[in-house]
């Protein structure tokens, strides 16, 4: 019997973003094939999905030839270490999954006649000389710096995706994802939000890098998932920025987290990592116009929900 059910492959499906996407596509009635080699992803993120009749998990490194049985309607390529700490621990895997992995995921989409969506990143803009960053900006990336392994892999991935679109006529989508946070982020992934939350909840000092005046614009996970879902179904080949333009300095973010967590931890200053971008804020006009999308969850609300999730996972009771 021919299945009429829609079917998606999500690489990196056991990661933070990927696992929330698995949830969303299952809710929408899709069959979900989640592929992950668990390098930085974890089965904890998808444990609740085992036994779901439309969910399948394969532990596999997508830098190798990728085979999936049966029909596939869409391939979402989310596999990659994604925090600066992780991609500096795994520089070669990061380069491989962004380059070879993207090639394999594109090849799978082509073989299946499926739509392809690339998880790209605001890191393609590097340390931006234009603020806020619109999709037209080509970026300011140090190719040989410590962050280059991620930035250049994603830039290559975008180029490869466009080549498959132009040369093979593949239906492709590119999401340029800005800093995203929420429940299930790894407690030790090294990023600002999880680090500050864990420090605040444990009563340890919050480690702000540099003078803390560098900025980021942070998007709550449910908003990001909505944007990605809409982008997949829209007719937009050009890259689309997805993120929350609500910009904040890192030291102000640390204070906000400390306050919401009800913590009295001190804030201490640590050296600024090499090539740490000075500013970052998405221009989301394209997403607003073409997807009718914009973030709906305020930073306070998002942080509150995230802190509750961290409390639970750390075994710290709600006050």
Write out the residues near ligand UDP by the rule CB under 6 A.
83-84, 179, 191-192, 195, 207-209, 214, 216, 250, 273, 276
Closest distance between ligand UDP and the C-beta of residue 276, in Å? 5
Nearer to ligand UDP, 130 or 162 (CB): 130
**How many whole angstroms separate alpha carbon 57 and alpha carbon 156?**
27
**106 or 227, CB closer to ligand UDP?**
227
Q: Write out 203-251 in H/E/C secondary structure.
A: CCCEEEECCCCCEEECEEHHHHHHHHHHHHHCCCCCCEEECCCCEEEHH
Smallest gap from residue 91 Cβ to ligand UDP (A): 15
DSSP state, residue 309 = H
**Which of 73, 276 has the CB closer to ligand UDP?**
276
Q: Least distance (Å) from ligand UDP to the CB of residue 178? A: 8
CA distance 15 to 8: 16
Calculate ∠ Cα 36-40-44, nearest 5°: 75
Residue 176 CA to residue 120 CA, distance in Å, equals 5
Nearer to ligand UDP by Cβ, of 109 and 303: the residue is 303
Q: Both tokens of residue 318?
A: 């709600």
Place of tokens 């019997």: 1
CA distance 124 to 137: 9
Active-site residue among 125, 150, 164, 181? 150
| Residue 90 known to be catalytic | no
Compute CA distances 165 → 51, 71, 126, 249, whole Å.
36, 20, 25, 38
Q: Which tokens go with 110?
A: 């082509």
Return the number of the residue (196 or 229) whose C-beta is nearest ligand UDP: 196
Terminal-residue alpha carbon distance, the chain: 55
Q: Are 219 and 244 in contact (CB under 8 A)?
A: yes
Q: Of 61 and 127, which CB lies nearer to ligand UDP in the complex structure?
A: 127
Cα–Cα dist 221/230, whole Å: 14
> What burial class does residue 70 get, using C-beta atoms within 10 Å of its C-beta: 0-12 exposed, 13-18 middle, 19+ buried?
exposed
Residues classed as catalytic: 150
């Amino acid at each position: 019997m021919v299945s009429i059910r829609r079917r998606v492959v999500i690489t990196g499906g056991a990661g933070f973003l990927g696992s929330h996407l698995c949830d969303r596509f299952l809710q929408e009635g899709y069959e979900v094939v989640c592929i992950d080699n668990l390098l930085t992803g974890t089965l904890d993120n998808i444990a609740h999905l085992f036994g779901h009749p439309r969910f399948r998990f394969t532990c596999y490194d997508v830098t190798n030839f990728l085979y999936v049985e049966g029909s596939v309607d869409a391939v979402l390529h989310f596999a990659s270490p994604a925090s600066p700490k992780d991609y500096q621990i795994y520089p070669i895997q990061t380069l491989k999954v962004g380059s070879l992995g993207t090639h394999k995921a594109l090849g799978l989409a082509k073989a299946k006649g499926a739509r392809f969506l690339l998880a790209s990143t605001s890191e393609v803009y590097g340390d931006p000389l234009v603020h806020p960053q619109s999709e037209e900006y080509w970026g300011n990336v140090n190719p040989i710096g410590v962050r280059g392994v991620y930035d250049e892999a994603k830039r290559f991935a975008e180029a490869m995706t466009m080549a498959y679109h132009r040369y093979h006529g593949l239906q492709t989508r590119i999401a340029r994802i800005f800093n995203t946070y929420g429940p299930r982020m790894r407690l030790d992934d090294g990023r600002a939000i999880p680090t500050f939350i864990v420090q605040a909840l444990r009563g340890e000092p919050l480690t702000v890098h540099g003078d803390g005046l560098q900025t980021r614009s942070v998007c709550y996970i449910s908003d990001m998932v909505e944007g990605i879902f809409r982008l997949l179904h829209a007719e937009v080949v050009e890259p689309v920025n997805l993120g929350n333009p609500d910009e904040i300095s890192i030291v102000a973010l640390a204070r906000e987290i400390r306050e919401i967590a009800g913590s009295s931890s001190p804030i201490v200053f640590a050296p600024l990592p090499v090539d740490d971008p000075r500013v970052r804020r998405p221009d989301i006009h394209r997403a607003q116009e073409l997807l009718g999308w914009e973030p709906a969850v305020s930073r306070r609300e998002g942080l509150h929900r995230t802190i509750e999730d961290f409390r639970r996972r750390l075994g710290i009771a709600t006050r």
